[in-house]
Amino acid sequence: MKTALKFLVIAVFGGTSSALIAQDEVSPTAPPEETTCIKCHGESDLWEGDTRRLFVSPDHLTNDIHWQKGLQCHDCHGGDKETTNFLEAHAPEAGFRSLKNVADVPDFCGHCHSDIEYMRRYEPSPRTDQVAEYWTSGHGQKLKSSGDVKVATCISCHGGHGIRAIKDLLSPVYPTRVAETCATCHSNAEIMNGRQYHGRPVGHDQYESWTKSVHAEALLKKGDLSSATCNDCHGNHGAVPPEVGSVANACGTCHVKIAQLFSQTRMKHQFEQLELPGCAACHGNHDIHSPSDEMLGMESDAVCTKCHREGKFGATIAGANEARELRAKLEEFKREIAQAQGMIAQAERLGMEVRGPRFDLRKADAALTNARALIHGFALEPVTKVIGQGLEVTNAVKASAEKAQADYTNRRIWLGLSLAPILLVVFLLLFYIRSLPVPPAPSTESA
b (16+ CB within 10 A) / e for 127-138: ebebbeebbebb
Kindly tell me if the per-residue pLDDT of 3 is higher than 70. Answer: no
User: How many other CB atoms sit within 10 Å of the CB of residue 286?
Assistant: 20
57: left (phi over 0), alpha (psi -120 to 50) or beta: beta
The predicted pLDDT at position 20 comes to 37
Average pLDDT in the 155-167 region? 93
Average pLDDT in the 260-281 region? 83
Kindly tell me if the per-residue pLDDT of 443 is higher than 80. Answer: no
Share of the chain above pLDDT 90, in %: 50
pLDDT, tens digit, 9 for 90 and up, residues 87-120: 888 888 889 988 888 899 999 999 999 999 999 9
Q: Which helix (H) or strand (E) holds 442?
A: none
The predicted pLDDT at position 314 comes to 67
- Mean pLDDT over each residue of the chain, to the nearest integer: 86
The pTM for the full model equals 0.78
CA distances from 76 to 66, 70, 110, 111, 389 (A): 9, 12, 10, 8, 64
Which amino acid does the sequence have at 169?
A: L
Find, among 244, 65, 243, 242, the residue nearest to 170 by Cα. Answer: 65
Measured in degrees and rounded to the nearest 5, phi and psi for residue 196 equal -135, 155
Spell out the domains of the chain, with CATH numbers in brackets. 1-124 (no CATH), 245-289 (no CATH), 313-432 (1.20.140)
Q: Does residue 440 or residue 262 have the better pLDDT?
A: 262
* C-alpha–C-alpha distance, residues 400 and 275, integer Å: 52
* C-alpha–C-alpha distance, residues 165 and 178, integer Å: 13
| Alpha helices, DSSP H, located in 82-188 | 86-89, 105-113, 116-119, 130-134, 138-146, 154-158, 178-186
